[in-house]
A and B are shown apart, each in its own frame.
Chain A
Amino acid sequence: MRSFKQIVTDFGWPRIIIFLFLVLLFLMPPFAKVTGIERLAGVASISIPASFSDVFNRFGQNAVFVLALVPMIQSGCGLNFGLSLGILSGLLGATLSMQFNLHGAAGFFGGLVLASPFAVLFGGAYGMLLNKVKGEEMTIAMYVGFASVFFMSIMWLLLPYTHPDMVWGFAGKGLRTTISVENYWIHILNNFLAIPGGDVTLSPMGVKTYEFLFPTGELLFVALTAFLMWLFMRTKTGTAMTAVGSNPDYARAGGISVDKMRLVSVIISTFLGAAGILVYEQSFGFIQLYTAPLAMPFSAIAAILIGGASVNKASMVNVLIGTFLFQGLLTMAPSVINSTINSDLSEVVRIIVSQGIIIYALTRKTKVTK
């Protein structure tokens, strides 16, 4: 029998503290008074079912990004600060899918298929670069991420997209900063077998919105991806990858090509980044271009670190717990704080919370034995 203390140590104090804090946030709303005038002014009161719905939804939106970090952590490439490359591949896939006028499931999965070659190409080049800068991966990765986002900002204007739903209305060329996927594949995963609940509001257009909506399809997709990753880590290649991350010299002495394993891990990570942005967009409802992907890797990294992963080791449990805690915190903290201090600071609070967690997690990272 494992003692209670052992279980606590295994789970980790940081996670327990954050979990308790999250519970506290859920308990607070009834006490955060919202007066009538403020309600009119647009400061909404917090409904518990809606909050839960939000947390689940955001969990699904972001879990694939977090999952995308796992292969590179395992292969010793560190935290993928250059996840933006994968996101850019996904954006290319999404815009191409729309350009080809693909709707519904075909639009979503078509986007995924169209994104794949870019993910392999970008991931391959990125991986080769990282193989040349062993030991400095994370710093280099961050700059690769930034540089590619800005390069693509130019490309979004220059690429010959013509679909009227995407290009600037006046010029007829160049992609808009935000493109709605409403008529294409919005909520294609979220609404699959979704479980509604709570109050129903009927909009003037006759569209029903539920106070609580459990995004079954989205979570199933996440579960499937996580399972495939779990399975992959148990294959021969996955085992070799973990060994490379654990001790590259051991792996090399065991006949493993260290560079090849690292390259494979970077490509998988980039591909999952592409899949992640598609999942995110179908739930969010918009394709966001230009500088939008800049900060996305950071929240994924914060989540996996909260989940208890180190720079060299990450498991599915780290991913799922971490995403839940981080997104839960990010959903609840701003709205509770806003309604408590009666102002709208949500974006500022969000940034403080997420960056603060990255700092915390990086200082607490577990050292590898050498």
Chain B
Amino acid sequence: MGQETPLLSLQNISKDFYGTVVLQDVSFDVKPGEIIGLVGENGAGKTTLMRILFGMPVIRETGGFKGKICIDGQEVSFTSPFDALDAGIGMSHQEFSLIPGFTTTENIVLNRESMKNSPLNDVFGDRMSILDRMDMRKRAEGSIVKLGVKLDPDMLVSEMPVGHKQFTEIAREINREKTRLLVLDEPTAVLTETEAEVLIRALRQLAAQGISIIFISHRLHEIIEVADRVVVLRDGVIVKDTPTEGVTVRDIASWMVGRHVATERVDEAHRYFEEIILSVKHLWVDQPGETVRDVSFQVHKGEIFGIGGLAGQGKLGIPNGIMGLFPGGGEVLLHGKPAPLNDPRTALQMGMAFVSEDRRGVGLLLDETLEWNIAFTAMQIQNKYLKNFGIFKIRDESAMKKLTEEYMDILHIKCTGPKQQAKELSGGNQQKICLAKAFAIRPDVLFVSEPTRGIDIGAKKLVLDALHKYNRDFGMTIVMVSSELEELRAICDRIAIVDEGRIAGTLPPTAELAEFGLLMAGERSAKSEEALSA
């Protein structure tokens, strides 16, 4: 193809949310009929970029963005998703936006139905027109043929397999006459291998008809298969924009995870551990959105064990299942003794503690004081901070105050005093309260889930330092679950990567980045632990 005007051209797009930069100087072009593979870790800025493209209100509400969007060389500014639709951009979301009780046809032509006049029109206007079902069906079939897949136009969406729902979504987008650019966010995430292949063929066919596609996926081999060009986003910056020819999955994986500057490992001699403190065998956990299918691993006493992986693959389900917050099964041994699942109390009593990723939902009593928040678990589980009056025990407010002041000091919690309510603190300080709550029961094994999610860099460092300190000074074994690979590499002794509810492999923190990337993308089967320790 020669030097034609790009269909879409993003120029120097920057965006920050209240000072946190999520996109910086992002520029790339999409030519007509071209398929772009957009990849990046969670939080790399893919979603924000697509939101900007669509003129989602959230972008304007948070202060707009910098840079230009051009379509056919003309600068455009969308104030709502409808403008984007009018300009010929269609999007299929990760979560389906289909009406379950409607048929394929009805969903495809929704809100653009063909109308017939009826006598009522004369009285009440256009709103009283009758649906022209024959024509609607014809149009729907047209889109289905264009997509090149087999779909029953009369089937109810609620009775379809997921793959067909995905196709219906795409058919709806291309049904608009004007659609020239299609954005597909993780279209293959819910599909089986064969369905994904059909979809990829369909996309190729669409591209051949001149429709450009931005294809967002975590499955890297699909990107290579379908995309003409791959654009890699990392921390809001485009690190690579290259034709797919000659690129391997391994290349993309290492560009994707890259090396971040913020967290640097304080290097120390490789540590050796003997005793096994926690052993998990064939664990499954039914946590919505984070299903754990079959996970087995062992943690040594005094170790910091990291669990990483992409969002939704089940890494968060592991601590939640072991601590009994979501139903699960399998075998968990602590100190060689079986720890019952689905029983938070016993798990706590046996010496395990958990800092939840859901800080405001599970981690805190927002309406209560810091004293309550920190002392509660220790009081309920270990009968600490109670004054004994013979037949009854009441709260020992002064001991609770002392405890809180102690942790305010150790963890540098910024607050007006122990009596302040938890909801008034900033995210980082709330996270420290959650840590203090867990530290207060002096657990043998501490699970921390996404300890630095949503907090600023300074607070991140303090939280990581606190974990490091408690591990080194008190020999607390820590299992840390995090989406941020760099954070895991900074403090963990071993890192397991979870993919599709299973552990894809366990690596030392010093392993090559590409190795982690491959495991995350599910491109390589598990490497056995024995091979590692050897």
Contact = CB atoms under 8 A, between A and B. Distances in A.
> Are both chains from one complex?
yes
A135 to B, nearest CB: 16
A239 B392 contact: no
B368 A255 contact: no
A312 B368 CA distance: 12
B381 A246 contact: no
A370 B362 contact: no
Contacts of A235: 392-395
Contact of A243 (B344, B347, B360, B376): B376
A100 to B, nearest CB: 30
Contacts of B344: 252-255
A231 B361 contact: no
A254 B344 CA distance: 7
Nearest to B373: A250
Interface in A252-301: 252-257
Contact of A252 (B325, B364, B365): B325
A313 interface: yes
Taking residues whose C-beta sits less than 8 angstroms from the other chain, chain A's interface range is: 20 to 34
Nearest to A310: B367
Interface in A168-189: none
B462 interface: no
B287 interface: no
Interface string B337-361: 0000000111111000010101011
A239 B369 CA distance: 12
Nearest to B387: A234
Taking residues whose C-beta sits less than 8 angstroms from the other chain, chain B's interface range is: 20 to 34
B367 A246 contact: yes
A231 B423 contact: no
Interface in A207-260: 231, 234-236, 239-240, 242-243, 246-247, 249-250, 252-257
Contacts of B395: 234-236, 239
A202 interface: no
Nearest to A246: B365
Given A243-B365, A368-B367, A253 B380 contact: no
B345 A253 contact: no
Contacts of A256: 345, 380
Contacts of B356: 253
A369 interface: yes
B293 to A, nearest CB: 23
A240 B356 CA distance: 19
B362 A255 contact: no
B285 interface: no
Contact of B393 (A236, A250, A313, A370): A236
B376 to A, nearest CB: 6
A243 B372 contact: yes
Contacts of B364: 247, 250
Contacts of A312: 367
B377 interface: yes
Contact of A255 (B361, B380, B383, B394): B380
Interface string B222-239: 000000000000000000
A249 B393 contact: no
Contacts of B358: 249
Interface of B: 323, 325, 344-349, 354, 356, 358, 360-368, 372, 376-377, 379-381, 383, 386, 392-395, 423
Interface of A: 231, 234-236, 239-240, 242-243, 246-247, 249-250, 252-257, 312-313, 368-370
The 3 nearest A-B residue pairs measured at CB: A255-B345, A369-B366, A234-B394
14 contacts: A234-B394, A236-B383, A243-B372, A246-B365, A247-B367, A249-B358, A249-B362, A250-B363, A253-B323, A254-B380, A255-B345, A255-B348, A255-B380, A256-B345
Given A235-B392, A239-B379, A253-B362, 12 more contacts: A240-B380, A242-B368, A246-B366, A250-B364, A250-B376, A253-B325, A254-B381, A255-B344, A255-B346, A255-B347, A312-B367, A369-B367
